[in-house]
Structures are given as C-alpha cells and as structure tokens.
Structure 1
C-alpha cells in the first residue's frame, strides 16, 4: 500500500462540488444552521428512523421507546429539526406526525456532492 503525500493529492478533484465556488454569507449561515441541527447523534437517529418508517413518516408517540428517549427530550430534538426545516410536522388529532423534508435534505447533501 502506497501512502500519498499532500503534494501528490489533487485536492480540487476530490473536493465536494458544493464547495467548488465561494459561498455567500447568507447561504453559509443557512447551511451552518442545517449542519448544526444534524450534528447530534440523537437527531441523526431520529431522521433515519422517521425516513425509514412505514409511509416515510412517524408519529411522535412511536419515537420515544425505540430511541430510549423521554418525551421532553424527544420534543426538544424534534423541535430543533423542525425549526431547521429538516423535518415537517403535521398535527392529526392529538398526535404529531413527522416526515423528512426531502427538498431540504437534498439541499444539504448538495454541499457534499463530488
């Protein structure tokens, strides 16, 4: 196995396309907010659990037990994700249902496309 030195690596060819041009301050602040919202293991688990649930949505009542969260902790994390626009909330009777905002998620993923 050959180790490459920094001089041998073409950084431009492996850098994500989303970083190929300077980012304006408002866009950088928006993207930083999204990254901050998902920079938590519990929130990443919530997003993956919701996205893989039946119908690509999940009732909040079904999220506490599988993730081992108390209701207040779950509510806090769901609010952070909702405020960032990464998940959407729909009230049905007394229950809140959540689904991943695919448009917002793709906006974030474009930052890392190669």
Structure 2
C-alpha cells in the first residue's frame, strides 16, 4: 500500500508538542504502549490516546494489540523523507537534551517492570 502525506500536513501534525514527544519516544524505543507513554510523558491516558489516534489515523504510526495492551510503532511504509525527518528528530543531540526527561522516565519505568 502506498503512503502519501503532503510535507505541510506532516509538519503541521508534528507542531503539537505532545505528538512530537510521543513520536520521538516511539521512534527511539521501537514499540511502546499507551500506558508507558502516559508515565514517561506525565500525561493522562485520554490525552495521550487522542494524540496517538491522530498519528495513527494519518498513517505515521501503527498499532498492535497484545492482550489488554495496545502498542504503537512507526509505520515502516513511510516515505523515505518522512523516515529521515523522524530519524533526525530521534538522533538530534539538542532534542535529546530537550526531551531527556521523557527518555529517562521511560527507561526508569522499563527497569522497574
């Protein structure tokens, strides 16, 4: 299936900080549940779910149910330019510092499970 989204739509979608934080964390970690994102970002489940729904409906994320949990991952069928932008966001040193608390919260949660 071919994926298409105009660049302005993609960047407009990522202009929301919560969606950007979700995408960066999901791209860094590969696959994350809604609950893990809520804890890492210190946000409510309805808020995180609403933003994940936008990313999923746009085709940027895929969801997968495992028992009672829903996990999200970046859609591997995204066009190359989108994958490059997401990879750039994920590996950016300045953004890593900006969102370091999200990463630390997620990693701390994973080590206590």
TM-score (norm 2): 0.62
Residues 80/52 of structure 1: CA separation in 2 closer, same or farther (3 Å cut):
same
Indicate conservation of the 8 Å contact 1:86/1:105, yes or no: no
- Report what 2:88 is aligned to: none
Q: Which has the higher helix share?
A: 2
1:80 aligned to 2:61? no
Residue 37 of structure 1: which of 7, 10, 13 is its match?
13
Alignment RMSD (CA, Å): 2.2
Deviation of 1:93 after TM superposition, in Å, equals 1.4
Deviation of 1:69 after TM superposition, in Å, equals 0.7
Q: Which runs of 5+ in 1 are unaligned?
A: 1-26
Deviation of 1:110 after TM superposition, in Å, equals 7.0
What's the secondary structure of 1:52's corresponding residue? Answer: helix
- Report what 1:70 is aligned to: 44
Residues 33/90 of structure 1: CA separation in 2 closer, same or farther (3 Å cut):
same
Deviation of 1:105 after TM superposition, in Å, equals 5.9
Distance 2:21 2:13 in 1: 12
Larger Cα-atom Rg: 1
Q: What is the total number of aligned residue pairs between the two structures?
A: 82
What's the secondary structure of 2:73's corresponding residue? Answer: strand
Distance 2:11 2:84 in 1: 13
- Report what 1:49 is aligned to: 25
- What does 1:8-23 correspond to in 2, within 5 Å? none
TM-score (norm 1): 0.61
